[in-house]
Structure 1
Amino acid sequence: MPLTNLCETAFTVLRQIEPVLVLEQLGSTLFDTALQMVVKDRSENATYPDAHLSREESQQKAMSDYYMIYNLINKLTPIFPAMLLARTGDRGWRRVPIVVPLSGYLMSRLALLLVVIFRLPLEVMFGAAVLFGLSGGFCAYWPGVMTLASLGSTAADRSKVMMRVELLYGAAGLVASLVSGHLFLLYSSSLGNGTALLSVSTLLHLLCLLHSIFLLQVKLEPKNEPEENCQLVPPDSINGPVAPFVINKVNVALLFAAAVLYLSAVGGAIEILGIFVLKEPLNWTATQVGYGNAAGCMIFITSYLGVMVFRRCVSDVMLILIGMISFASGIYFMSFVTSTYTFYLARSLNLFALIPLPTIRSLLSLQVPASSCGTTLTFLQLALKFPGLAYLPAFTKIYQGTLNWFPGFVFTLASILTVLAMIPISIFGCRLPLRRQCDRIQEA
């Protein structure tokens, strides 16, 4: 009998969104390390005679140019597919915004494996990025995951549930990062660097896709919570009939503005950080790259712990500000990093840097009815894509232009953008005097 109960419990857990999340992040983290090292290897012989650059500067320019194009494709192509998948999900097909992007993940990982094995041009990955984007990519996958998580929770626990998703995401990334550098070095001389690493990544994505198709269970309704309770109701409606849901467009706009500014700072800095650690004076190996990625994944765990501790005494708005201050200070310190240990010191200041975006998503989901939650979260994800048209080329060109005299200048710029992102979220906080009343209503 206990064995039967244990099997039933295990099967119930297996049908949740968490196994999909873990498998996908394990595979993606391995892929990211592999791509980073393959791009470095293929850029070693890059030359720019007209620019009179040194070999290292030429390599850095080639890598940054490649990532700029690759990331722009990843940000632009998912826009319409992701919107279509979100609308399909809100019509009751909640599994579709997860299954379709996962097929794109699998194809892109398989493409890089073929590039390594058959010595194909690295530009093949641009085509793989297009296929990945047309499947909806992360832009459709992540809102789909967050929608399932939010609809299975109460409004009071929603930020905690979303941060738990981020915790699992980060823990899986931490494990994969620690082993990725070692796996990259396992290869056959006839196949090339990264073959074993990419084979494992592709297998994990295949298992993830099969799980989402055949095992994933979807909850269509929020748990023990009517749709109307998701809003911040005015005091007149406490004892009277519930009014139709009215979306506060100013609050939504402020949340979008804060998310866009913060993501621009984070996205621009992290894009350059992956290239920055491969040059002198750091000049990391594949193993060190894996450990550095693991340090980034640790931030998911510390951010989750921060939410668990701080949410007892501060509001969600204050949580966001704490996270933004954490990132701003850490990334500013990164501007002056010249050794591996100072890199980790800078990263340690980013302990709570992952708090803002999931908390903003949580607040945003409370501003709209549950029936449009998936579409709204996807709109936010799309809104976070468009600034990439500006900040990816801007950060890349600024980094290339300051490479000789101050390569960390882009990190100072990211710190300034983060401070600007604190303005709209602070205004949003001043517009929520009824929060405690709402919380009392939901607890009644």
Structure 2
Amino acid sequence: MGIIRTWIEPVVAGTQVASSFYDTALLMVVRNHYNKTINNISYPTNSSNEEMLQKAISNFYIIYNVIMGLTPFLSAYILAKIGEKTSIKITICVPLLGYLISRMFLLFVIIWEWPVEVIFGSAALNGLTGWFTTYWAGVMTWASLCSSERRRSLRLIIIEMVYGLAGFVGSLVSGHIFVYLNITNQQGTILVCCSIGCYALSVLYSIFVLRTPQEEHCCSETTRLLKDSSNTTIQTNSLDDLPFISKCFLITMFTSAVLFNVAFTATEDVINVFVLKEPLNWGPVDVGYGYAAAYMTYITSFLGVLFLSKCTSDLGLIAIGMVSFSSGLLMMAFVHWTYMYYVARVLMMFSQIPTPTIRSVISKHIKGSSYGKVFVALQLAIEIVSVSASAGFNKLYQATLNWYSGFCFIIFSILGFVSIIPISIAACTEWLRSGQQNISENANTCQVPDSDDPCSSTDHQPIH
């Protein structure tokens, strides 16, 4: 029972089901709002209505994502520091409370017909309480502390799989709930209420049930390594004490993660709008299925790590995931029918591998007490750059809407392939570091080489 109380998976599952409900509800409420507004100021048969609707929804999400992505900059690192000094639960509970309160705003928009711009205020509140930046960094830190170095990549991808499976289930039913279950003919009321309920359960579990890894001693191997002051491997180095070659390695990993997530975030933002227009012209049910297909990649990525990790390294897994993602995007650029969308998603089956594996690799090069700060810094870098670039990519999508709406996906695909370059550099850096470490070990065990055996040794004692 003690080990069960350290499981972070129920929090991840409940929160992601809630988020998938909310994402579908928000997209359809925003679409209905601007569709009604545009029809009131122009003739329904006007051929430009669809273009106006696409631009209105796109502009809404540009502002929404910018607010949501930049406001955590004020609080994420502070929460990480507080969590480091008190309890890691701070970085999980505070963002979840922010989610719970801010998601209620959409319910007010639906029931009392508040202006849809109220959602910008809820985004600011969500960001100021840490948002996904702090929450996910806390989850990854928790999982890292509860896993051995050897199994850490698998442990983190299991968390991602739970995240994706919960999102898949939530998205699969969200469209049906939006259409068929309503109160007073207001579409989305039950769906938003279900979302708020799931957030409430996650908050209660994280506050009253979840116990920190240190309290339950669930990760004795990791704790032992962190407390072993005589261990000279890179695991126990603080950030300031890392060798230059290791700092270069971490920089390349950060760069690759940021580039990849810029392409990833921009892709999901544009797809949300892309599927609402011709030729796909999806409704609430199809939107839910589309989200579910996206979440399926978390499950296939987990299976990929489970089987491919036996024959390749972490850096190899990252490269495979990036190639899978970029190839699927090339296919997405030429989607004209719904079945082609799902074919593109199949090609992207390993697209969730890179980011958690990068976190795993980084965690193996720093000491455990730095996990929280480093993961928050990584998530902040990803969010700030991704949100800024996403706004520009959304404008590019609007500019190419009538020319070739899939052009953006070609750009994102190129960016995905470019993100492989830092991984290649990191692989070379790791090879050099391993070479230096081997030389150092040989120097410590061999004082004077013999003509026949460089390490012969009854006559020489190891240097301490």
Fold shared per TM-score above 0.5: yes
Q: 2: CA distance between counterparts of 1:254 and 1:205?
A: 36
Asked if 1:27 corresponds to 2:24, the answer is: no
User: 1:365 Cα deviation (Å)?
Assistant: 1.0
Q: 1: CA distance between counterparts of 2:237 and 2:390?
A: 41
Q: 1: CA distance between counterparts of 2:69 and 2:367?
A: 27
Q: How does 1:21-100 map to 2 (within 5 A)?
A: 21-47=12-38, 54-100=48-94
Q: Which residue among 302, 305, 310 is the counterpart of 2:308?
A: 310
Asked if 1:124 corresponds to 2:118, the answer is: yes
Asked if 1:410 corresponds to 2:401, the answer is: no
Relative to structure 1, is the Cα distance of residues 217 and 135 closer, same or farther in structure 2, using a 3 angstrom cutoff?
A: same
Indicate the SS of the match to 1:406.
coil
Q: How does 1:270-289 map to 2 (within 5 A)?
A: 270-289=268-287
Q: Which residue among 391, 399, 402 is the counterpart of 1:401?
A: 399
Indicate the SS of the match to 1:43.
helix
Query: Which residue is equivalent to 1:388?
Result: 386
Aligned amino acid, residue 253 of structure 2: L
User: 1:391 Cα deviation (Å)?
Assistant: 1.2
User: 1:189 Cα deviation (Å)?
Assistant: 6.1
1:66-86 Cα offsets, whole Å, 9 max, x none, are 000000001000112111111
Q: How does 1:326-405 map to 2 (within 5 A)?
A: 326-405=324-403
Q: How does 1:422-441 map to 2 (within 5 A)?
A: 422-433=420-431
Q: 2: CA distance between counterparts of 1:345 and 1:429?
A: 31
Please say if residues 328 and 416 of structure 1, whose CA atoms lie closer than 8 Å, have aligned partners that are also in contact. Answer: yes
Q: Which residue among 136, 143, 156 is the counterpart of 1:162?
A: 156
* Structure 2 residues not aligned, in runs of 5+: 442-464
Asked if 1:106 corresponds to 2:100, the answer is: yes
Q: Compare CA radii of gyration and give the structure with the larger one.
A: 2
User: 1:173 Cα deviation (Å)?
Assistant: 0.7
Q: 2: CA distance between counterparts of 1:285 and 1:242?
A: 50
Query: Which residue is equivalent to 1:223?
Result: 220
Please say if residues 230 and 369 of structure 1, whose CA atoms lie closer than 8 Å, have aligned partners that are also in contact. Answer: no
* Structure 1 residues not aligned, in runs of 5+: 1-7
Asked if 1:256 corresponds to 2:229, the answer is: no
Q: 2: CA distance between counterparts of 1:82 and 1:24?
A: 19
Please say if residues 46 and 59 of structure 1, whose CA atoms lie closer than 8 Å, have aligned partners that are also in contact. Answer: no
Q: 1: CA distance between counterparts of 2:173 and 2:103?
A: 18
Q: 1: CA distance between counterparts of 2:135 and 2:297?
A: 21
1:107-154 Cα offsets, whole Å, 9 max, x none, are 122111111111111000000000000100000000000101000111
Relative to structure 1, is the Cα distance of residues 306 and 190 closer, same or farther in structure 2, using a 3 angstrom cutoff?
A: same
User: 1:255 Cα deviation (Å)?
Assistant: 0.7
Asked if 1:140 corresponds to 2:134, the answer is: yes
Aligned amino acid, residue 13 of structure 1: I
Please say if residues 65 and 387 of structure 2, whose CA atoms lie closer than 8 Å, have aligned partners that are also in contact. Answer: no
Q: Number of aligned pairs?
A: 422
User: 1:90 Cα deviation (Å)?
Assistant: 1.7
1:364-385 Cα offsets, whole Å, 9 max, x none, are 1112111111110000000002
Q: How does 1:168-183 map to 2 (within 5 A)?
A: 168-183=162-177
Please say if residues 236 and 366 of structure 2, whose CA atoms lie closer than 8 Å, have aligned partners that are also in contact. Answer: no
Please say if residues 258 and 386 of structure 2, whose CA atoms lie closer than 8 Å, have aligned partners that are also in contact. Answer: no
In the superposition, the TM-score normalised over structure 1's length comes to 0.90
Cα root mean square deviation, aligned: 2.4
Q: How does 1:204-219 map to 2 (within 5 A)?
A: 204-219=198-213
Q: 2: CA distance between counterparts of 1:92 and 1:429?
A: 37
Please say if residues 228 and 369 of structure 1, whose CA atoms lie closer than 8 Å, have aligned partners that are also in contact. Answer: yes
Q: 2: CA distance between counterparts of 1:128 and 1:53?
A: 34
1:39-65 Cα offsets, whole Å, 9 max, x none, are 11111145599xx97000000000000
Q: 1: CA distance between counterparts of 2:50 and 2:5?
A: 48
User: 1:244 Cα deviation (Å)?
Assistant: 5.3
Q: How does 1:190-209 map to 2 (within 5 A)?
A: 190-209=184-203
Please say if residues 235 and 366 of structure 2, whose CA atoms lie closer than 8 Å, have aligned partners that are also in contact. Answer: no
Which segment is superposed worse, 85-94 or 266-275?
85-94
Q: 2: CA distance between counterparts of 1:429 and 1:230?
A: 28
Query: Which residue is equivalent to 2:296?
Result: 298
1:238-278 Cα offsets, whole Å, 9 max, x none, are 8xx99855322211111110011000001111100011001
User: 1:390 Cα deviation (Å)?
Assistant: 3.0
